[in-house]
């Protein structure tokens, strides 16, 4: 079964979190929640006025802001879905307060407009939707209007998603295979040598002319196929690169040299098959799957353990939703030495929890840490160690002779 051994646990509108239905039966209450969610494009900018549409032009798919306080900070950790299956649902990928990690539009109204009061939020929602207490006809009129709008929106969204997916797939299909390209030289500059591995990852290719909006021009780019468990091409990950004065290749000097075109949720970049053959969906029962956040860390692990099956999740926030085969052994996270208590560590713990809730066994490997003020092996539960290397790629680059010469880091069950 694609996606894991049980449901994802994504909360649906009208869940127990909402409490009472404010005079409506449960079915009508869920309908009100759906009505609100369908009007997310109107509600989100009103409730979170300091946010921005993403993408900023055309047909936006998300409304983004800093956090539930909606302060202008330049970061955008709270995201509201404006289209698709989860329209009206939001998630704060940063350090959200308890109870404010995710929800739907009624939750947002309750928090942002009604001081957390559920009864007031339902009253606000009914006023917004034009529903009069005790008037069933006003409820039915609002319901029919929302259903008409939803059908049209879903059809338009499906067409837009397919257009983006086709564009992402074509970008990758019309790119050059990796060997002999600047993309291969970029990886070699990160101490990832495809020649030493014996083959180049088939998911990685090179485009000399990938459009970058920030630069306002077309730039050289390493492109990677993001696929689902069924092998379908969902999106394309792009890493823009540039040549340095000494002739080597590195990441382009952009604010964000890495972006994804198309869908990535649930998908992954197949980096390395290890000793196995075939697609991820057909691995032998009990095969461990190594999951890195990015391409470079995953291929670094391949350099040290070329017999392992390795995929990249594209971003940390996507780890918990990865489509993975039921017959997998352990899911082994390729960790980074982020500071204890940091948002990255908290986010990783949440994503691991999602995998475990789906029935997967999860472990983590880390690059080495160095004891502070004394000898002995680092204690992963203590604060008396400092990262020797931030991530596996830094370990490979700075200590190639010692890379995986001893067991990689701290294993966490």
pLDDT, residue 377, reads 44
State whether 130 and 195 are in the same domain.
Answer: no
State whether 235 and 380 are in the same domain.
Answer: yes
pLDDT, residue 141, reads 75
pLDDT, residue 26, reads 60
State whether 132 and 179 are in the same domain.
Answer: no
Q: How far apart are CA 25 and CA 16, in angstroms?
A: 14
Q: Does residue 223 lie within any of the structural domains?
A: yes
Along the chain (413 residues), what's the average pLDDT of each consecutive run of 10 residues?
37 43 63 90 96 84 94 90 90 85 95 94 90 71 74 76 90 97 98 94 97 95 97 96 97 95 91 91 96 97 96 93 96 93 88 96 90 46 64 94 62 34
- For residue 78, the cross-strand partners are 65, 92
* Chosen domain end from 124, 148, 166: 166
State whether 184 and 313 are in the same domain.
Answer: yes
State whether 151 and 124 are in the same domain.
Answer: yes
* Chosen domain end from 148, 166, 184: 166
Q: Does residue 374 lie within any of the structural domains?
A: yes
pLDDT, residue 8, reads 33
State whether 94 and 148 are in the same domain.
Answer: yes
pTM of the model: 0.69
Domain count, the chain: 2
State whether 242 and 128 are in the same domain.
Answer: no
Q: Does residue 11 lie within any of the structural domains?
A: no
Q: Does residue 403 lie within any of the structural domains?
A: no
* Chosen domain end from 166, 198, 224: 166
Q: How far apart are CA 42 and CA 315, in angstroms?
A: 29
Cβ-based neighbour number of residue 217 at 10 Å: 9
Q: Does residue 80 lie within any of the structural domains?
A: yes
State whether 204 and 344 are in the same domain.
Answer: yes
State whether 26 and 131 are in the same domain.
Answer: yes
pLDDT, residue 382, reads 44
Q: Does residue 408 lie within any of the structural domains?
A: no
Q: Does residue 229 lie within any of the structural domains?
A: yes
Q: How far apart are CA 125 and CA 71, in angstroms?
A: 24
Domain that holds residue 333: 175-398
Peptide bond into 342 cis (omega under 30): no
pLDDT, residue 18, reads 53
């Amino acid at each position: 079964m694609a996606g894991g051994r049980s449901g994802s646990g994504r909360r649906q509108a009208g869940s127990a979190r909402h409490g009472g239905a404010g005079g409506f039966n449960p079915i009508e209450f869920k309908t009100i929640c759906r009505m609100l969610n369908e009007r997310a494009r109107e509600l989100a900018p009103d409730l979170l006025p300091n946010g921005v549409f993403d993408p900023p032009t055309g047909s936006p798919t998300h409304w983004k802001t800093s956090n539930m306080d909606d302060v202008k900070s330049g970061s955008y950790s709270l995201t509201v879905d404006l289209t698709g299956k989860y329209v009206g649902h939001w998630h704060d990928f940063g350090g959200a307060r308890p109870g404010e990690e995710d929800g739907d539009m009624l939750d947002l109204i309750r928090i942002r407009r009604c001081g957390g009061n559920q009864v007031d939020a339902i009253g606000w929602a009914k006023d917004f939707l034009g529903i009069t207490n005790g008037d069933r006809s006003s409820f039915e009129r609002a319901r029919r209007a929302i259903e008409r709008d939803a059908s049209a929106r879903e059809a338009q969204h499906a067409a837009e998603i397919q257009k983006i997916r086709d564009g992402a797939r074509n970008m990758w299909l019309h790119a050059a295979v990796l060997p002999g390209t600047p993309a291969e030289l970029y990886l070699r500059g990160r101490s990832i040598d495809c020649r030493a591995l014996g083959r180049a990852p088939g998911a990685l290719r090179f485009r000399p002319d990938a459009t970058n909006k920030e630069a306002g021009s077309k730039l050289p780019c390493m492109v990677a196929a993001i696929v689902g468990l069924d092998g379908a091409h969902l999106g394309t990950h792009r890493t823009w690169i540039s040549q340095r004065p000494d002739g080597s290749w590195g990441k382009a000097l952009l604010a964000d040299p890495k972006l994804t075109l198309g869908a990535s949720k649930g998908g992954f970049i197949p980096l390395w098959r290890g000793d196995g053959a075939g697609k991820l969906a057909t691995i032998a029962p009990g095969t461990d799957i190594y999951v890195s956040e990015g391409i470079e860390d995953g291929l670094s692990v391949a350099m040290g353990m070329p017999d392992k099956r390795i995929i990249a999740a594209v971003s940390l926030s996507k780890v918990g939703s990865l489509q993975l085969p039921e017959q997998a052994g352990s899911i082994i996270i390729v960790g980074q030495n982020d500071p204890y208590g940091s948002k990255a560590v908290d986010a990783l713990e949440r994503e691991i929890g999602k995998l475990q809730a789906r029935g997967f066994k999860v472990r983590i490997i880390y690059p080495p840490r160095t004891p502070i003020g004394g000898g002995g092996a680092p204690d992963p539960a203590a604060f008396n160690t400092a990262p020797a290397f931030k991530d596996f790629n830094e370990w490979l680059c700075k200590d190639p002779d010692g890379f995986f010469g001893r067991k990689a880091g701290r294993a966490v069950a």
